[in-house]
Structure formats: C-alpha cells, structure tokens
Chain A
Amino acid sequence: MGAEFVQLSLTPILIGVLAAIACALPGNFLVLRRQALIGDAISHVVLPGIVVAFLMTGAIAAVPMLLGAAGAALVAVGLIEAIRRLGKIEPGAAMGVVFTALFAAGVLMLERTDTSAVHLDVEHALMGNLESLIWFSADGWASLVDPAALAELPPELGRMAITCAIVAVLTLIFWRPLKLSTFDEGFARTLGLPVALIGLGLVATAALAAVAAFDAVGSIIVIAMFICPPAAARMLTNRLGRQVGLSALIAAGSAIVGYVAAGYGPIWLGGGDSVSAAGMIAAISGLVLAAAARFGPCRHRLGAGAEAV
C-alpha cells in the first residue's frame, strides 16, 4: 500500500465511495415510496441527454454534458408523470415506456453521429471509467499535503464530493417533511406541507446524484446504489435514521470492496488483467443485499400484509 496505491487506486476508490453514498441517500426514500425504479429510469435517459449535449456543442465537455443529462432526467420524469396522469397508466408501465423510448432515441442519435474522434459510446455511459480516474501527479501518501499535487486531482473527485455534500445536506434539512410525507401523505397534506413539491424535490435530488455519478462511475453503479444499500439496510433495522446511516455505510463498503476485488482480485487469483470495477461494485452490493435478505434481523414484513406471507 504505497505510492502506487495512492496514484492508481486512492482517487477511484474515493470517487466510487462518494458516488455510492450520494445515490444511496435519496435511494432510501425512493425505496420506501415504491419509486425505486425511478433511479433505473433516470440512469437510462442520461445517454440521450449527453448525446444531445454533444450534438449541440460538438465537444466532450463536462458541464454541457452534465446539463444535458440533467435536462433529460427532468424531461423523463415529466413525461412519466404526464403519461401516468393523462393516460391513467400505472407508474411502472409509464416508466417503462419513457425510459426505453428515450434510450432508443439516444442510441439512434449516437449511431447517426460521427463520434469516432471522441470517447462517447453506450458502454462508457453504462460502465463509466472509474479505473482511469487516477492521480497522475501523486507519488505517495505525502502528496496528500502537497498543494501542487492536490491541484491536479482528477476533477471528478471535486464534482462528486460537492454533489455528495449537497445531497447529504438536503437530506438532513428536509428530513422531517420527507419522512412525514413518505409515511403518511394525507396527514402531511393536512399540515399544509407541499407534498407534490417534496416528491419532485426528492426525484430531482436523485437525478442530481445520478447525473454527477454516471460520468465517473457509469449507470450500473447508479442503479445499484439507489436500491441495493437502502434495501439491505431496510432488513437490518426498523428505524429510519439508522437505516439511512447503514445504507451509506453499505454503499461505501461495496464501493471499496468492489473496487479492490475488481482491481486486485484477478491478480490474487493468478489471473492477469483486472475486471470492470463498476460491474464488481454493483455485484458486491447485490451480494450484501442477498446476505441481508437471508439473515437480516428485520427482513420480514410487519404490519398489514405481514399475515399474507
């Protein structure tokens, strides 16, 4: 664990951890609201968003692409809501229509555009490029206090740290309204809480996390982190505060273990090259969920519906 680790693995791990936490926090409320798959939908429509941004600017630049992705996420959420209400279609099906249609449009646009000169394809959007976010100028732990080296940290780290901080602060500030309107929407309305706005804010926060994360780590991690850590934490405790805390821990743990397993696992097993870190992190979070679902102390349903099982 020396200079090489700091240079090659430290920043990807940190970025992975921050992305995982940023997605897991809103994921808790999405899971409780039966909106878990909104995260799935959002991360699919990121592709058309970045393609449109690329077509408009003609370059691969972080800011326009993030804006494009965010715009696409909002368009998708608006369309889902419109189809659900106007067509009286159940939310799952409405989601299925919107994200597949937008994703198909994204793929078609990509095929019709000459992107051979730039690094823009579906696989990149899915899997990200976590392994490539290395800290070139670092030459050991001492670089952590070297301003010159710190100035050359990959920009994704800063972006992800800010996003994660924003998401965490929003979660803390709006904790009570979120909890109240998630548990008992009708009661929340009688208190005068803007229930619809709270729901929209939650989805917008999730979209922010998804959009910031996909660039660094790809969509797979985003979908997995929205759902697996909160779902696993749900089976470990019956208190919301503890659940959210545990989900952040599980998310961070999955990111670390997944990255290390992908990078070093094949070598330990005597193989050669490393495997996809994004895929491994998602798979590890699934394993944690499977363990929680099998052994978690609070894995069974309580209350109404518990008898039916």
Chain B
Amino acid sequence: MLLPDKRGYFGDFGGRFLPETLVPALRELEAEYSRAKKDPKFIRELEFYRKNYIGRETPLYFAKRLTEYLGGPKIYLKREDLAHTGSHKINNAVGQALLALRMGKRRVIAETGAGQHGVATATVAAKFGLECDVFMGEEDCERQALNVHRMKLLGTRVIPVSSGSRTLKDALNEAFRDWVATVSHTYYIFGTVAGPHPYPMMVRDFQSVIGNEARKQMLSMEGRLPNYLIACVGGGSNSIGLFHRFYNDKEVRMIGVEAGGKGINSKLHSATLSCGRPGVLHGAYSYMLQDKNGQVVPTHSIAAGLDYPGVGPEHSFYKATGRAEYHAVNDAEALSAYHLLTHIEGIIPALESSHAIGYVIKHRKRFRKGEILVLNLSGRGDKDVGRNI
C-alpha cells in the first residue's frame, strides 16, 4: 500500500484545505517533487549533502548506562542530535532547499517553534544563497533565544509573531499569510509532516533517512529488528522519519510520545493524539486540540517544539489503524529525563526528545529484559540550557 493517495490522504486523514491562491503552488510543488525524486541528479545531490554537509549517517548508539539504569530493555539512541545544526530538522531543510533551487525560487520562508527548523532553514538559505524569513511566536523567541541568535547570525530575518498564543501555531498562520502574498517567488520550507498535501508526504520522505539508517544499523549490530521504536511527537516529523521504514515490519511496535505539559487533565498540554479529535487545521484533516465549536484551544509544553495543537495526518492514520500507540509525558517527567541522560550518558538532549526518554523511564516495567528499544534522540539540548536547571 502506497500512501498517501493521489489526493494526499492517509486513510481518512490529510488532504488540502487552504485558500485557492496557494493551490497552484502546491500542485506545482507536487509535480516538481515527483520529478525530482526520480531524477538521478537530485538523488545524488541529496546524498552528497546528507553525507558531507549534514554528516550522515548519524550513529545508532548503544546507551549502556541508561540500559543499566533501567535494568530491562536494551536502549539504542538514534543520534539525530549529532546532525549539522543539532537536530533532525536539517534532513528536511536540505531536501526542500534543493527543490526550491530547482523551482527557481529566490526566497524561502519557514515557521519554527523551538527554533530548530528555523535554524536548519536559515542554514540552508545561507548555504545556497537564498533570502530567508522565519516566523516564530514571541513566546518561543523568548524561551529559545539562542536559536533566534543563530538564525540572525546566519543572515535570516526572524519575524516575531504576536497574534494568538504567540507560539508555533501562530507562526504557521503567519507563514501561510506571507506565502499567499509572495507565492510567485517564495518557497515555503514547511518544517513538519503536517500541512497541506504534498508536505506531509514530502517531509516524511526526507526524514525517512532516519529510519532507513536505523534499520540497517540495527540489523548489522544486533542481527535483528528492534522490538520498539520510540520518538516524541509534536507535528510528528522525527517520529514519522523513524517509523516509516518499519511500517511493514509488523513485529516492531511504535510509540509516539506527546507533550503532557502540566498533565493531560489540566488543559495545559499539547497531547493532540491522546486528547484531541479530528478536524481541519493548517491545511489538513487530522487530529487537533479544539473546543466543542471547532476553535483551536491554547496548548502548553515546556518544549517549544511540541507546543502545537495539531499533528501530521499520517500519525492520525497510524493511530486510527493501531499501527502506533501514542502516550503523553508531562513537563516534570521530561525534565527529569533531560537531567538523567545528561548525567549518565553525557548527552544533553533537547527538551522535545526528553519526552521520549521520559516515557521509557516512566514505563520501564512494560519492557522486558532483552527487548531492544530504538529511541530517536531528535535534537540536542544546548538551546534549552540555562532556562530550566
């Protein structure tokens, strides 16, 4: 089964819900992407930058002391934190920048929450000589100040967004509003597996390098597939990137970890799949956090990159079909996982990725001795140092 279908649907989820003005651009992008992915030159270029610029493949690292600490399953960390710019976001940014160049666009825009996608986009813009504007919620600009500084250093204009909740969802709204007016010369480097078709498919494809590598590495290191894949889910790009290649490996179970904030009964969380219901937000039909009238509700997470009321449609499909399970880990649990990994492995994880680690710590009893877990360490935590210790 090849998903999404021609209309951009993963089962019931996905599609294209946005103003007519953007539809021709999305169709053009879809056509260009389908040409590019069959073009040996594009494939070679992507391979080249993955190896020489991003620094792939990233290690699949056996976390010996974390494994001992947990006393049951073997834990492997997929080290996306070691990718250039410090997170998996660069995988997608490079792919889409190459597309932007193919399409002759001179300007790129992006939305960002934690600033990791913003930094990745600013980086490729600098590298390929593209003009770049990044939209970032005011609250996120404050709590991820280091990344704002990095983007500016890279020559990107960071546009603080003061509307709505002043976080990722509002940055997305503003990016769409910009794009609708500039679409003739601007390419929108969308940061996650959400949004209108073809973004969920395209971003997934670019991020699938994570799972492709991890599967190969696991087979060569352990001679078998892992029992579990675990990754945090905000919009869902690092998790889909890990999960996708394993989709048909039915014995491999997948766990997506959402931001439980101050607790999923508190209303102060971003656990979209755990607590939301399907609706239309930012171009796709997917799970979202909304009130009974269909208004998007405010979200909260200590991790700016997870603080989002929507989620990619492929995750909604995984949830609906039972292919993956989704759970929430709250701020405090993520924070203690952040400290633990730092102390016993010498790796400072991003607060986003700390949610995935937090899940394993919290639910260590569900895993048996000898079982193998691959945990996606989607980003490094430098950006978070100093605001939560």
Q: State yes or no: do A and B come from one complex.
A: no
B-to-A contact residues, CB < 8 Å = none
A-to-B contact residues, CB < 8 Å = none
